[in-house]
């Protein structure tokens, strides 16, 4: 029997011995064996740290992002091959779409985040802080890539998405990964990694794959590494308590299967749009991936006067589910991942039946299309009913990881919130309601026990990704039983793989360090106006100190007439008593406009256009007779990528604008952006 190979230390290597057989989930036939016996796990991690990590750390955020985009584009060209292999896991094409194209979509999402980071190998974290009255001492937080490796131990249900959604984040951060998928479906992960290797897009050591037992892998972690785990809470707790992890204080992010719930609002009546959404969402949650999702709805809470209507409607919906060979176009639900998984689901359901009754489905029989129900890991959707959820522990403690949910009644929204918390921490929850009051009260009441909450109604239904879909820009994880971890979340996720350090020094020194101008740093004043310089020629700190201009009453009056802004503080001498102003004050936007008139170089040059205004503060009133001047300083440079070959090479320049009066005090500060042409 052939064996899967492990991609480690730059080579494809078979493990020793016969290995563990991996099965076709819908007919029970052995596909291949998997083994990691004989692998040098310490050497694998060392290779990632010595080879992959330095290569990624040398790359800037834009370079890492473009690498992810190229990888996504490449994998998309091989989807047909991946779909064919995915059927062997028991997944239908719709199930596989989530796993395959959802995973590739994560690569695209994190690739696009490169625009949120500087053209640097590190990034700033928040604003600088002045630490002295004279402005010569300050502090700034930085984030730098960790010098270790991300170790991802993934679950069997999403062998591709589980890998790609995690490595997208650590690779953008500049950290390599060792991926250990669940063995039972690792043949699909292996096929994708082979294609990644063939592409040559990632630098050596950026990604390694272990197909089989993790052996003593975690016994070799170090403080700069990050370990993530997705799977059962019991396994996660066992891994997290590894003595080496605890001794090294290695970050451990856990995303555990949880007893997620959906609440039907008291305002939702049978026949309404929200009622139909409730039924449709639950049918999908129970049958997609045969219910093998860490985010699947396990507990359904409905008003007690809607209980009978609910189970009848759900029964009708579930009865329309066709089960069988996932390659058959008529099939809507495939099999579980394996026969052992089916037996585990049956065992857990029997435990649930101690306080519940089965109102739809059968534990022992199932009708299938184009398949053998005994050889394949098929099971019927199972809807349970528990009429005493406040006193029954089982529905809130036992999870059957398959197409299984328990329907339960509640008395009033406060009780629904209390029931939702009985799961002791969940990845996600949903409330179906068209009533904003119900939505607000549920979210604020249940938020402490859930990582994500969906408010589902007719208004958002067309675009809603549904109860269980983790999104790249939102955090995925949850408190308590759900593991207490967090992954993805856009920029937030990237920071999990970076070290935060607070740096103190003079504004000039921190400007040189960060590549971003810090207020009161040394300014570079030359004969050439900064607006006459091309993008490459500009230096951080380049400054023009303008001529001065005196603001007059006529200026204020004319600006009011031009802008139609006749706010009393600018135009009415008789209404200022009790205000902050001694006399009519100049409009803030008049001061900003006047500042632009002072610092702009009028001739045609490299500055192509005004790109926008990021921040602006008006610090001191400007009255008629006040003389103002401006210091315009190059604050930050952001190269732009060409979308078309014919595009003019350019970048965005941020300018720090300091408008000051005749006393030398700042009256306004702002950051403006211009688009500046490159020489080449």
Residue 2 pLDDT > 90: no
CATH 3.40.309.10 fits 260-464, yes or no: yes
Per-residue pLDDT at 436: 93
Domain residue limits, the chain: 5-121+145-256, 260-464, 523-677
Residue 472 pLDDT > 90: no
What is the SS3 assignment for 571?
Answer: helix
Place of tokens 């101690």: 354
Per-residue pLDDT at 579: 81
Asked whether the beta carbons of 50 and 10 are under 8 A apart, the reply is no
Beta-strand pair 404-410/382-385: parallel
Per-residue pLDDT at 560: 92
Q: Which two tokens stand for residue 616?
A: 């602006």
Section 417-421 average pLDDT? 96
Tell me the per-residue pLDDT of 187-211, one tens digit each, with 9 for 90 and over.
Answer: 999 999 999 999 999 999 999 999 9
What is the SS3 assignment for 606?
Answer: coil
What is the SS3 assignment for 370?
Answer: coil
Beta bridge partners of 657: 632, 670
Beta bridge partners of 487: 476
Q: How far is CA 139 from the centre of its chain?
A: 29
Interatomic CA distance for residues 195 and 207, integer angstroms? 12
Query: Given pLDDT bands bounded at 50, 70 and 90, which one contains residue 1?
Result: low
State the sign of the Cα–Cα–Cα–Cα dihedral 203, 205, 207, 211: positive
Report the candidate in 372, 352, 258 with the shortest Cα–Cα distance to residue 363: 352
Section 597-606 average pLDDT? 89
Query: Given pLDDT bands bounded at 50, 70 and 90, which one contains residue 225?
Result: very high
Helix (H), strand (E) at residue 259: none
Section 381-399 average pLDDT? 95
Interatomic CA distance for residues 78 and 503, integer angstroms? 46
Options 14, 255, 281, 487, the catalytic residue: 255
Residue 485 pLDDT > 80: yes
Q: Is 460 a catalytic residue?
A: no
Indicate the burial class of 554 (C-beta count within 10 angstroms; 0-12, 13-18, 19 or more).
exposed
Options 211, 261, 294, 428, the catalytic residue: 294
Question: Which CATH number describes the domain made up of 5-121+145-256?
Answer: 3.40.605.10
Q: How far is CA 270 from the centre of its chain?
A: 36
Tell me the per-residue pLDDT of 329-338, one tens digit each, with 9 for 90 and over.
Answer: 899 999 998 8
Q: Is 487 a catalytic residue?
A: no
Please give the class, per CATH, of domain 523-677.
alpha beta
What 8-state DSSP symbol labels residue 333?
B
Length of the chain as a residue count: 680
Per-residue pLDDT at 465: 87
Report the candidate in 81, 60, 82, 278 with the shortest Cα–Cα distance to residue 174: 60
Interatomic CA distance for residues 151 and 159, integer angstroms? 15
What is the SS3 assignment for 600?
Answer: coil
Report the candidate in 501, 502, 494 with the shortest Cα–Cα distance to residue 226: 494
Asked whether the beta carbons of 9 and 178 are under 8 A apart, the reply is no
Section 14-38 average pLDDT? 88
What is the SS3 assignment for 308?
Answer: helix
What is the SS3 assignment for 664?
Answer: coil
Per the prediction, the chain carries an average pLDDT of 92
Tell me the per-residue pLDDT of 124-135, one tens digit each, with 9 for 90 and over.
Answer: 998 889 998 888
């Amino acid at each position: 029997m052939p064996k899967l190979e492990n991609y480690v230390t730059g080579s494809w290597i078979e493990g020793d011995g016969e290995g563990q057989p991996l099965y076709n989930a819908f007919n029970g036939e052995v596909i291949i064996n998997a083994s990691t016996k004989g692998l040098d796990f310490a050497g694998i991690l060392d290779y990632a740290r010595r080879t992959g990590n330095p290569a990624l750390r040398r790359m800037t955020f834009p370079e890492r992002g473009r690498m992810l985009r190229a990888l996504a584009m490449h994998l998309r060209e091989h989807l047909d091959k991946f779909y064919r292999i995915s059927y062997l896991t028991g997944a239908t094409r719709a199930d596989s779409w989530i796993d395959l194209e959802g995973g590739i979509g994560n690569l695209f999402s994190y690739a696009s985040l490169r625009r949120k980071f500087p053209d640097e190998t590190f990034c700033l974290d928040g604003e600088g802080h002045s630490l002295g009255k004279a402005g010569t001492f300050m502090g700034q937080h930085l984030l730098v890539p960790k010098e270790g490796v991300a170790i991802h131990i993934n679950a069997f249900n999403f062998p591709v998405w589980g890998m790609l959604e995690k490595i997208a984040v650590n690779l953008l951060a500049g950290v390599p990964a060792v991926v250990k998928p669940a063995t039972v479906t690792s043949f699909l992960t292996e096929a994708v990694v082979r294609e990644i290797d063939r592409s040559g897009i990632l630098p050596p050591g950026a990604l390694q794959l272990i197909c089989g037992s993790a052996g003593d892998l975690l016994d070799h972690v170090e403080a700069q590494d990050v370990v993530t785990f997705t799977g059962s809470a019991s396994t996660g707790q066992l891994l997290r308590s590894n003595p080496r992890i605890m001794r090294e204080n290695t970050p451990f992010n856990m995303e555990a299967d949880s007893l997620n719930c959906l609440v039907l609002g008291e305002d939702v009546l049978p026949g309404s749009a929200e009622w139909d959404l409730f039924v449709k969402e639950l049918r999908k949650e129970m049958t997609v991936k045969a219910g093998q999702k860490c985010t699947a709805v396990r507990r359904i809470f409905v008003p007690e006067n809607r209980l009978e209507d609910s189970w009848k409607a759900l029964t009708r919906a579930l009865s329309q589910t066709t089960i069988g060979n996932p390659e058959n176009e008529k099939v809507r639900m495939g099999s579980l991942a394996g026969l052992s998984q089916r037996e585990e689901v049956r065992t857990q359901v029997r435990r649930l039946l101690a306080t519940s009754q089965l109102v739809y489905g059968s534990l022992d029989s199932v009708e299938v299309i184009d398949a053998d129900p005994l050889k394949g890991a098929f099971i019927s959707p199972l809807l349970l009913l528990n009429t005493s959820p406040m006193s029954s522990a089982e529905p809130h403690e036992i999870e059957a990881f398959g197409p299984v949910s328990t329907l339960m009644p509640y008395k009033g929204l406060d009780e629904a919130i209390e029931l939702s918390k009985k799961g002791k921490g969940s990845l996600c929850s949903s409330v179906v309601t068209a009533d904003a009051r119900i939505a607000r009260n549920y979210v604020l009441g249940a938020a402490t026990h859930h990582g994500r909450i969906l408010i589902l109604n007719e208004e958002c239904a067309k675009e809603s990704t549904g109860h269980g879909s983790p999104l790249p820009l939102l955090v995925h994880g949850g408190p308590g039983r759900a593991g207490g971890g967090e992954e993805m979340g856009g920029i937030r996720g990237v920071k999990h793989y970076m070290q935060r350090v607070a740096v103190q020094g003079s504004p000039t020194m921190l400007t040189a360090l960060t590549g971003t101008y810090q207020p009161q740093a040394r300014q570079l004043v030359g004969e050439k106006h900064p607006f006459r310089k091309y993008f490459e020629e500009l230096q951080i700190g380049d400054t023009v100190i303008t001529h001065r201009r005196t603001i007059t009453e006529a200026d204020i009056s004319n600006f009011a007439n031009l802008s139609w802004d006749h706010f009393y503080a600018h135009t009415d001498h008789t209404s200022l008593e009790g205000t902050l102003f001694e006399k009519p004050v100049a409009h803030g936007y008049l001061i900003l406009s006047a500042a632009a008139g002072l610092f702009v170089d009028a001739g045609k040059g490299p500055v192509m256009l005004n790109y926008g205004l990021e921040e602006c503060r008006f610090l001191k009133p400007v009255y008629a007779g006040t003389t103002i001047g401006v210091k315009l300083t190059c604050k930050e440079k952001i190269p732009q990528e060409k979308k078309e070959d014919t595009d003019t090479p350019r970048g965005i320049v941020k300018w720090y604008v300091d408008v000051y009066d005749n006393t030398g005090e700042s009256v306004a500060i702002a950051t403006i952006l211009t688009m500046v042409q490159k020489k080449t």
